[in-house]
Chain A
């Protein structure tokens, strides 16, 4: 019960301080095969200066959520309902012009693959300077100076000369740094990082994550960090949202979710990941089966075909009734709170080491 009484610590969904607040967001794509419900009823809040980690496997809707915040989805093939409030302004019905003013200025994005996200045709310096010129009305010269300053800040050696290089002349880690410089050039209040380190080596990943964390302290941006790796969020995020099949299944502070996870899917994720200190004679506990198709998700709880604990919930509720995610700390699961704790302590925790 301790975890339940702790909910006051977690941001309540009707948080007036929330800088970004997403309410019942639904992003549906109509395809030839039918309606793909990529995001289906997602709500979360983010305060200034905080980092929210969104964890999920491919196809869980984590990237689509963030593309729709930035308004980068294709309006022809998708329908968006719900609310995305950025500093009180609803982005779902904002015009392209309004969005354009916000993108790169108030909100910015760091993509996974820096080589495809950067244009091969323009120098790195020009790509960093462009949003600065557009949003602040700075001259070319000022923007160039700003680009050099930003490159230096993110740790590109000799920024005065490297500013005129093309992306292909940079190494993988440097390109990612250049993209961070580009996203921070206008001091955005919201920074969305979509798998920013997945394409990088571990030692470089550690550098980039620390850099993001340090830069956040300096710039005070709110960050949404999307990743599939629980290890990455453990280090960087304050709050955590676990997504499965287009819905959030668990929410809480990083410590709560990693130390006292409540949802069977989160248990599965933690159990299938070997750790540096785990017992090697113990086999990994993978989640059986594979993620569901979003065209035809299972009825009730989307995780029920892969869940080991369906039997503990009586009355076939898992296959008929969709569990709701409570506000604040909690998980979308029919298991009773005491049962969850009991299962976690008896079956899951001993394996995690």
Chain B
């Protein structure tokens, strides 16, 4: 434990409100009950709708100006779909999206055009997200061209300036994407997102395709941009340590629902939802003094979003599940003992600590069997 951590622990007691939420009252982007169901068609000879992938199911979130909101969860939890809904690349099935007080849930192309330039996206795969037939100059200037923006110094000069901001050589203006490494390509993607001076950037797994040593470079770059330019970020990732490093507020998603949302310190040090506990305990840490951390091993994989479990969606893998969990869906509320802005959707929340338990929670039947056998032999 470092000094700074002790400090944060003591401030927790003073119940400091969530960092930006109180400071700036107006959220930049607000979503309520956001839902996206992808229909599944089947049958012969006439295809009809036979079901739906419930990718996102009733997500309520707000993003405040200049803040960084992290969105974590495992694959299939709907975090990427949520990102695409926030940028309105997808149209929600239900719910509402409000940007600066303006309802854009079902807005058309024309109405969205000015808003799209303020909400930009950074994609995961720097190899697939850049057109291999265009030069870097064309790639970065096309958002300006499409939106008819003519910077006073000219588009080319602006592109060179952007290249410099993201740490690339402005002389690379006429090069093609294949001439760059993965990390450099991701920087090109960042420069493109910055071209329109956005207010909000949705970054969907921006570093997970990069090598460890390069990841840190891109994370630092994004962090500098957020601080210097005051851009709000929705940072989508599956790596909990990186999200903790980057985001002041973090939402944990499971099977299309937000199960817990809180400021960084609360979520990582005093989590309440069993799933958050399980996620945190599963993070592989290079720290060898593991005994202090709780050990939770879930059984199996995430269930299919086509037929999600009734009630609480985590109940099929939860060690605390009871009858109530199957019948009644837990609302996302502030539990007693949680700090302001710390919302949890659970009927039987855990103790707010990540310290080791008396007995480990091991749900995996194979692990239980082998560990029993091994301890019996000793």
Task: Give the interface of A toward B (CB within 8 A).
Answer: 57-58, 152-155, 157, 171-174, 177, 201-207, 209-211, 214-215, 217-218, 228-232, 234-235, 254-255, 258-259, 268-281, 283-288, 290-291, 353
Contacts and interface: CB of A to CB of B under 8 A. Distances in A.
Given A155-B366, A218-B370, A218-B374, A283 B287 contact: no
Contacts of B370: 153, 211, 214-215, 217-218
A269 B284 contact: no
B264 A210 contact: no
A293 to B, nearest CB: 10
25 contacts: A57-B211, A155-B367, A171-B300, A173-B300, A202-B282, A203-B279, A207-B297, A207-B364, A211-B366, A214-B370, A231-B286, A232-B284, A234-B284, A234-B288, A274-B245, A275-B286, A275-B287, A276-B283, A284-B220, A284-B245, A286-B220, A288-B217, A290-B214, A291-B211, A353-B2
A172 B282 contact: no
Interface of B: 1-2, 4-5, 74-75, 181, 183-184, 211-217, 219-220, 223, 238, 240-242, 244-245, 264, 268, 278-288, 290, 297-302, 364-367, 369-371, 373-374
Given A218-B373, A274-B241, A353-B2, A234 B285 contact: yes
B367 A214 contact: yes
Given A202-B279, A277-B287, A155 B365 contact: yes
Contacts of A209: 284
Contacts of B244: 274, 276, 280
Contact of A277 (B2, B213, B373): B2
Nearest to B363: A207
Contact of A153 (B74, B214, B223, B366): B366
A33 B39 CA distance: 50
B5 A207 contact: no
Given A155-B366, A275-B287, A201 B2 contact: no
Most chain B CB inside 10 Å of its own CB: which residue of A155, A157, A353: A155
Closest A-B pairs by Cβ, 10 of them? A155-B366, A231-B284, A286-B216, A272-B216, A206-B282, A201-B74, A274-B245, A284-B216, A287-B213, A286-B217
A206 B1 contact: no
B13 to A, nearest CB: 19
Most chain A CB inside 10 Å of its own CB: which residue of B74, B290, B373: B74
Contacts of B75: 172, 201
Contact of A276 (B2, B74, B268): B268
Contacts of A58: 211
Given A157-B365, A202-B74, A235 B284 contact: yes
A203 B74 contact: yes
A269 B1 contact: no
B5 to A, nearest CB: 7
Contacts of A286: 213-217, 220
A230 B223 contact: no
Contact of B284 (A218, A229, A259): A229
A290 B212 contact: no
A279 B268 CA distance: 13
A201 B364 CA distance: 15
Contacts of B374: 214, 217-218
A203 B278 contact: yes
Most chain A CB inside 10 Å of its own CB: which residue of B280, B286, B370, B374: B286
Contact of B301 (A174, A235, A283, A353): A174
A173 B223 CA distance: 33
A209 B240 CA distance: 18
A210 B369 CA distance: 12
Given A155-B366, A207-B298, A276 B284 contact: no
Contacts of B242: 274
A232 B220 CA distance: 24
Contact of A280 (B184, B215, B264): B264
Given A155-B367, A202-B238, A278 B286 contact: no
A205 B284 contact: yes
A169 to B, nearest CB: 12
